[in-house]
Structure 1
Amino acid sequence: MLLKEIKNIFHQELGPVYPKEEIDSFFYMMIEHYLGLERFVLALEPNLMVSKEEEGSLFSGLSQLKLQRPIQHILGKAYFFDLEFSVTQDVLIPRPETEELVQWILDTISIRKEDARESEKPIRILDIGTGSGCIAIALAKNLGDAKVFALDVSEDALKIAKQNALDNEVEIEFIHSDILQLKTLDDSFDVIVSNPPYVRELEKKEMNANVLDHEPNLALFVSDHDPLVFYRTITAFAAAHLKSEGVLFFEINQYLGEASQELLVDAKFTDIELRKDMFGNDRMLKGVLKQ
């Protein structure tokens, strides 16, 4: 069969569910993954034929897409900050908004290094609720002299994160613990970052089936009556474990920006900043602890 005919079938079958641009993206990701072909191949070879075996791989992927299974789960990988990560149903799929958070952290650390008058010890970073490890690994990859720790309650998630750290050739110290139960660590940190569960049950109706049915509820949802439980707990933990001038970063629920910010105010953080993401939603929060 002609490859361009298969592309047309993708659009016919997925058109009722996904926008055209997203279907194109699915198709190109699959031909790269299964056939080793670049996305511009049809422009160069519009009459390219594929074998029955190659057809089978693409149509198998199409069948899973029709069930709204995430493309990252079909291919077993996702990309974040120009790095490749293995992903399963045990971890959240990394999002581009979180890349913005990582860049903010890197920019903050870079400015601080420029302002430092003398050589400092390696920076110490803790990622709480690491999931796939994308935040911790991206930071470690871009901060060669940093000591990075990553904590998660899920043993299955930590297995994925540890493999991702190996695959991306970075050293991370992983901690298996529930932050809601963890009272203290025998460590202090320059930076604490967290993208904890923040989606309220009432917001489920706004979410697509490919998220609701295929990504871990443990990493997504909080109860409607106490949606900031993780933020309150982590803020208190950070107040006790950040060094003086240490920085706390959060990814947050877009509807709870002001309430999340107030937690840092109450905990005596300073230089508090709430930032919007690329879509114009309140998404990132930073505060500095001055002791």
Structure 2
Amino acid sequence: MTIKGIKNSLYQELNTLYNDDEIEAIFRYYIEIRLNILDSFLFNDDKIEFKTPHFEKDLSELKSGKPIQQVVGYAFFYDYFFKVNEHTLIPRPETEELIYLITEKYKNNLPLKIIDLGTGSGCIPITLNKLYPTANVQAIDISTEALKIAKENNENLKTDVKFIHQDLLEDFQLDYKYDLIISNPPYIRDLEKKEMHINVLQHEPHLALFVSNDDPLVFYKKVAQFGKLHLNNDGKIFCEINQYLGKETQEMFLRYYEHAILHKDISGNDRIIEIYN
């Protein structure tokens, strides 16, 4: 099958699910990952035949709404490819902004001990371990299936993150105090589901996404309480947050800490909160 044939098929079959820009992004991702073709001059080629034994199956999965990252098995985050599946949240660009902010804050002051609360694919702690290779990095998650993927990514990317099976909502203590606590916990309220695409609702783990309308900050309260026990005196907490609940999240953290600073994402939405005493 030619690359142009693949492109035409994707546009014909996916136009009821995605707009043209989204299909173009899916096409480019597919060509680069599945066929390992990075030369954009070939993206409209209709002469060279490529072996595409997976294409019919892949197309069927894409038509069902399955995200392209799950179809090809990898998501690109920061500078690395992370293995993902239906048990892990697909890393978002907003989470990359969280990493960028941390690197801005820790240019010269190396965080020695780091923990990620609710790690999923492990993209946050593994990326930080790449950036700060001498740091002691740990991560927890409630999902054993997600931790399997995180450990594979840890091995594939040759990092040394320690993963712990733990429910953040349970009362627990660890032996360490940390210079940096990070969390991208579930924060989307049930009432916001109507805004979401089918590929998220039907194919990504609800455990990693949604919270009740009645207590949408439940995980952030646990992060705050964890920090009171485990954050070093000059340490910081960074969390990705619900853009609609920035002020509420800030007010909650200010009950525990002296400072809670909101940072906006590239779209101008409240997206990250930085907490410290």
What SS does the aligned partner of 2:46 have?
Answer: coil
What SS does the aligned partner of 1:112 have?
Answer: coil
* 1:202 partnered with 2:177: no
Structure that is richer in helix per residue: 1
User: C-alpha distance in 2, partners of 1:83/1:201?
Assistant: 32
User: C-alpha distance in 2, partners of 1:84/1:46?
Assistant: 26
What SS does the aligned partner of 2:103 have?
Answer: helix
User: C-alpha distance in 2, partners of 1:275/1:36?
Assistant: 36
What SS does the aligned partner of 1:197 have?
Answer: coil
* 1:103 partnered with 2:91: no
Q: How does 1:246-285 map to 2 (within 5 A)?
A: 246-270=235-259, 272-285=260-273
Q: What TM-score do you get using the length of structure 2 for normalisation?
A: 0.94
The structural deviation recorded for 1:39 is 4.6
The size of the alignment, in residue pairs, is 277
Q: Structure 1 57/268 Cα, relative in aligned 2: closer, same or farther at 3 Å?
A: closer
The structural deviation recorded for 1:211 is 0.3
In structure 2, give the amino acid aligned to 1:46: D
- Which of 75, 78, 89 is equivalent to 1:78? 75
User: C-alpha distance in 2, partners of 1:39/1:13?
Assistant: 24
- Which of 40, 61, 73 is equivalent to 2:58? 61
The structural deviation recorded for 1:41 is 4.0
**Residue number in structure 2 paired with 1:38:** 38
Tell me if the contact between 2:120 and 2:141 (Cα under 8 Å) persists in the aligned partners.
Answer: yes
In structure 2, give the amino acid aligned to 1:12: Q
Q: Structure 1 3/184 Cα, relative in aligned 2: closer, same or farther at 3 Å?
A: closer
User: C-alpha distance in 2, partners of 1:176/1:85?
Assistant: 20
**Residue number in structure 2 paired with 1:171:** 160
Question: Unpaired runs of 5+ in structure 2?
Answer: none
The structural deviation recorded for 1:239 is 1.6
**Residue number in structure 2 paired with 1:116:** none
Over residues 126-154 of structure 1, what are the superposed CA-to-partner deviations in whole Å (9 max), with x where a residue is unaligned? Answer: 10000100000000000011110101111
* 1:49 partnered with 2:52: no
* 1:214 partnered with 2:203: yes
| % identical aligned pairs | 45
In structure 1, give the amino acid aligned to 2:59: L
What SS does the aligned partner of 2:106 have?
Answer: helix
Q: What TM-score do you get using the length of structure 1 for normalisation?
A: 0.90
The structural deviation recorded for 1:207 is 0.7
Q: Structure 1 176/6 Cα, relative in aligned 2: closer, same or farther at 3 Å?
A: closer
In structure 2, give the amino acid aligned to 1:273: I
Over residues 76-107 of structure 1, what are the superposed CA-to-partner deviations in whole Å (9 max), with x where a residue is unaligned? Answer: 00111111100011110000100000111122
**Residue number in structure 2 paired with 1:17:** 17
Over residues 188-229 of structure 1, what are the superposed CA-to-partner deviations in whole Å (9 max), with x where a residue is unaligned? Answer: 000100000111111111111100100111111111111101
User: C-alpha distance in 2, partners of 1:158/1:236?
Assistant: 23
Question: Unpaired runs of 5+ in structure 1?
Answer: 114-121
The structural deviation recorded for 1:173 is 1.2
Over residues 10-52 of structure 1, what are the superposed CA-to-partner deviations in whole Å (9 max), with x where a residue is unaligned? Answer: 2122223212122122222222333332351436x7332325x
Tell me if the contact between 1:70 and 1:214 (Cα under 8 Å) persists in the aligned partners.
Answer: yes
The structural deviation recorded for 1:111 is 4.6
User: C-alpha distance in 2, partners of 1:248/1:219?
Assistant: 19
User: C-alpha distance in 1, partners of 2:45/2:202?
Assistant: 37
**Residue number in structure 2 paired with 1:7:** 7
